[in-house]
Amino acid sequence: MLYSDKVMDHFNNPRNVGVIDDADGVGEVGNPVCGDVMKITIKVDDTDHITDLKFQTLGCGAAIATSSIVTEMAKGMSIQDAVQISKRQVADELGGLPAAKMHCSVLATDGLKVAVDDFLRKHGREPIAGEILSEDPNFDPHAEEEEQAVAAENCHLHE
């Protein structure tokens, strides 16, 4: 399995790792197929722009790299724009991902969306991201058992 130099850079030198203690929003997501889990914390200013993000990811190299790049992509964005980041944009920003690792970019984008909705709920506002979680029409959270087994095996291969 070949990874781009940018994936390897974000895996070996992940950006924005950690937790924001006084976070405005928290998103925790997991992939039941392979066991990857991600937590993302965000700070949002008075104009609804994300000023800081931190993540913690337990998973393969692609899961860590996608989490890292999503935090870089979303920093400074409005929450409305941030929830529109797609798994394809994440993969493209990283110079591509193997097909068996695309679910990692879904984990990262969904974590951000859950954090944004958490922020909105805490401020008595309507969530905006819930309806677009895993919006990719090719993403099937109920994939056939054989596909799940392949994805699980690929998650645990040594990078």
Nearest to 91 by CA among 156, 4, 15: 4
Domains of the chain: 5-155 (3.90.1010.10)
Whether pLDDT at 134 is above 70: no
Given the residues 20, 38, 79, 104, the one annotated as active site:
104
Q: Could you tell me if 44 and 50 are in contact, meaning their C-beta atoms sit under 8 angstroms apart?
A: yes
Pairing of strands 25-30, 37-44: antiparallel
End-to-end Cα, the chain, rounded Å: 8
The dihedral region occupied by 95, where left means phi > 0, alpha psi between -120 and 50, and beta the remainder, is left
Q: Which of 7, 23, 29, 34 is catalytic?
A: 34
- Token readout for 49 is 């722009």
Residue 148's pLDDT band (cuts 50, 70, 90): very low
60 is catalytic: no
Segment 79-97, tens digit of pLDDT? 999 999 998 899 999 998 8
Residue 34 among the catalytic residues: yes
Q: pTM to 2 decimals? A: 0.80
pLDDT band at 14 (very low <50, low <70, confident <90, very high): very high
